[in-house]
Amino acid sequence: MNVLLVSPYRGAIFEYSGVKIQPLGVSYIGAALRHAGHNVQIELLENSDSVPDFTGADVVGISCNTVQFKAGLRVAKAAKEEGKIVIMGGPHPTSSPEETLRSGYVDYAVRAEGEVTAVELLAGIKSGKNFSPRNVLGLSYIDKESGTVVNNPDRPFIQNLDNVPFPIREANWRYSKNSKSVNTGVIEYPLITTRGCPYGCNFCDVHLLAGRKFRARSIENTVREIEEIITKYNAERILIVDDIINFNDERLIELFEELIKRNLPVVRWVMGRSDHLVKKPETAEVMGRAGVRQMFLGIESPNERILKAYKKGGKISLDYSVKAVELLKQNDIETWGAFLLGEPSETEEDIKRTIEFAKFINPGIAQFSILTPYPGTGLWHDVENKIFTKDWDKYDAMHSVFMTDNMEPEVLEKMLMKAYINFYRQPKRIFHEIFNKNHYGRPDLKRIFEILKALKIVFSHA
């Protein structure tokens, strides 16, 4: 069959920040379908008014998280109007299959890991009119006779990740005619080496798609994909976007030692946890030698009470965050520090302390976000009665969507802007960027102004 896979518009912060990273969700589904014999094309919609080309497609598959959901439904509606079979997957359809199907534009919702489910579903559709979807695990659909939504049993997570085909990395980046973003920005190549996260952060929806059991690809399989990316795309920068690259310290060391041995210094960015890093300092040393220049750490807050409320688990704390950032600096690795604002009991003073803490540890990049309850998370169930909007476009972690105990939504959003301005306009940072250019992991002056400009545009669209 001819299959068009679409990643809908990801929101203004992606559009105006110049980030160009191909989503892995559609890329993995596309690879599985191509491996099964289907003709697959991928389109990435980079502007709010960019539209896909449905010409020749039998089936349109749409992968979306919550902030993409409304844009995804617009794509689904257009596809249905052209007589296409429409399938939707990703975090939001997984947590909210009834909402997805009741839209009237989606024929099937694929829940959680979709590679095997999508292949089985298309095989059934191709087989003819007598196909019954009832035996496809991980699938939701509307029963034609009763009109009720049927959620088939969950599909077990894939245990041997080496059996999953490497993701397709060819895609059409589709922009609107008036876009100034066309062909700008460096394409980063994301890679995952593991799936599943054993921790239970109440704001995270990763467990919906990948479960809580940690599953890892073999070192050989992982390195082979890295070599393929370099050979086919001349890639100089690969991002390992595992949720916790350092969950298994010995595996991490083995992976990066192998990259050093093969002279493949292309992995520039990784994600992990500060407590694991401090527990095993050797991991920072080997990543530094292998060429890693930035590590994403979910620091969230210096406040122990707030960290406990987030159910971060492990030994996450102010002290571990300080030690982790310093350890990375010692190995020439910048920190991408993520900070959350708006825990239900948080006060303005708490947020001011978070901002000052961010300035104190001084990561290469500070990412401030407003705590956002995504459907299916523990946080969603905790604050559901306080949510005042289900306009999914606002679920970009830049807008306040539920009432906290101590701040009005407008105040919280102003605090977010204040956090970015106070952090990036520090004289010491500006001075540093003037005289220390071209260091991966630290935005230069132009990039700093782009970040602040993007935020203003986001809120001007509110």
Phi and psi torsions of 258, nearest 5°: -65, -40
Does any domain span residue 453? yes
373-402 mean pLDDT: 96
Predicted local confidence at residue 7, as pLDDT: 96
Give yes or no: residues 245 and 297 share one domain: yes
Report the C-alpha gap between 281 and 274 in whole angstroms.
Answer: 10
Higher model confidence: residue 236 or residue 133?
133
Give yes or no: residues 7 and 124 share one domain: yes
Higher model confidence: residue 181 or residue 349?
349
Does any domain span residue 182? no
Give yes or no: residues 230 and 342 share one domain: yes
Number of domain units in the chain: 2
* Three-class DSSP labels, the chain: CEEEEEECCCCHHHHHHCCEECCHHHHHHHHHHHHCCCEEEEEEECCCCCCCCCCCCCEEEEECCCCCHHHHHHHHHHHHHCCCEEEEECHHHHHCHHHHHHCCCCCEEECCCCHHHHHHHHHHHHHCCCCCHHHCCCEEEECCCCCCEEECCCCCCCCCHHHCCCCCCCCEEECCCCCCCCCCCCEEEEECCEECCCCCCCCCCHHHHHCCCCEECCHHHHHHHHHHHHHHHCCCCEEECCCCCCCCHHHHHHHHHHHHHCCCCCEEEEEECHHHHHHCCHHHHHHHHHCCCEEEEEEECCCHHHHHHHCCCCCCCHHHHHHHHHHHHHCCCEEEEEEEECCCCCCHHHHHHHHHHHHHHCCCEEEEEECCCCCCCHHHHHHHHHECCCCHHHCCCCCCCECCCCCCHHHHHHHHHHHHHHHHCCHHHHHHHHHCCCCCCCCCHHHHHHHHHHHHHHHHCC
Residue 119 pLDDT exceeds 90: yes
Percent of the chain with pLDDT over 70: 93
Residue 197 identity (one-letter amino acid):
C
* Last residue in a domain, options 106, 135, 151: 151
Give yes or no: residues 208 and 309 share one domain: yes
Q: What is the pLDDT of residues 327-346, one digit of tens each?
A: 999 999 999 999 999 999 99
Q: What is the pLDDT of residues 191-239, one digit of tens each?
A: 999 999 999 999 999 999 999 999 999 999 999 999 999 999 998 899 9
Q: What is the pLDDT of residues 279-319, one digit of tens each?
A: 999 999 999 999 999 999 999 999 999 999 999 887 878 99
244-269 mean pLDDT: 97
Give yes or no: residues 292 and 337 share one domain: yes
Vertex 173 angle, CA 396 and 23, to 5°? 50
Phi and psi torsions of 173, nearest 5°: -80, 105
Predicted local confidence at residue 303, as pLDDT: 95
Give yes or no: residues 123 and 243 share one domain: no
Residue 436 pLDDT exceeds 70: no
Give, in order, the Cα–Cα distances in Å from 291 to each of 36, 220, 257, 266, 326.
36, 19, 11, 6, 18
Does any domain span residue 172? no
Does any domain span residue 197? yes
Give yes or no: residues 55 and 192 share one domain: no
110-130 mean pLDDT: 95
Say if pTM beats, i.e. exceeds, 0.85: yes
Report the C-alpha gap between 115 and 33 in whole angstroms.
Answer: 8
Predicted local confidence at residue 93, as pLDDT: 98
Give yes or no: residues 231 and 93 share one domain: no
The mean predicted confidence, pLDDT, of the chain is: 92
Does any domain span residue 176? no
* Last residue in a domain, options 151, 179, 207: 151
Give yes or no: residues 137 and 236 share one domain: no
Q: In CATH, what number is assigned to the domain containing residue 368?
A: 3.80.30.20
Does any domain span residue 119? yes
Residue 442 pLDDT exceeds 80: no
Cβ proximity of 226 and 337 under 8 Å? no
Does any domain span residue 73? yes
Give yes or no: residues 128 and 192 share one domain: no
Q: What is the pLDDT of residues 141-155, one digit of tens each?
A: 999 999 999 999 999
The boundaries of the domain holding residue 252 are 188-460
Structure tokens at 247: 């969950």
Predicted local confidence at residue 17, as pLDDT: 66
Does any domain span residue 156? no
Report the C-alpha gap between 118 and 333 in whole angstroms.
Answer: 39
Vertex 307 angle, CA 379 and 193, to 5°? 75
Give yes or no: residues 310 and 223 share one domain: yes
The separation between the first and the last C-alpha atoms of the chain, rounded to the nearest angstrom, is 40
347-352 mean pLDDT: 97
Higher model confidence: residue 58 or residue 46?
58
Residue 118 pLDDT exceeds 80: yes
Report the C-alpha gap between 88 and 6 in whole angstroms.
Answer: 9
Residue 96 pLDDT exceeds 60: yes
Report the C-alpha gap between 93 and 307 in whole angstroms.
Answer: 29
Give yes or no: residues 60 and 128 share one domain: yes
Q: In CATH, what number is assigned to the domain containing residue 122?
A: 3.40.50.280
> What pairs with residue 270 in β-bridges?
295
Residue 180 pLDDT exceeds 70: no
Structure tokens at 340: 């959350």
CA nearest to 392, candidates 11, 89, 6: 11
371-397 mean pLDDT: 97
Predicted local confidence at residue 153, as pLDDT: 98
Residue 177 pLDDT exceeds 60: no
103-120 mean pLDDT: 98
Instruction: For the chain, give the number of residues.
Output: 462
Predicted local confidence at residue 12, as pLDDT: 75
3-30 mean pLDDT: 87
30-57 mean pLDDT: 94
Predicted local confidence at residue 452, as pLDDT: 75
Question: Which residues have a Cβ under 8 Å from the Cβ of 81 and sit 6 or more positions away?
Answer: none
Predicted local confidence at residue 435, as pLDDT: 63
* Last residue in a domain, options 151, 167, 196: 151
Neighbours of 241 (CB within 10 A): 17
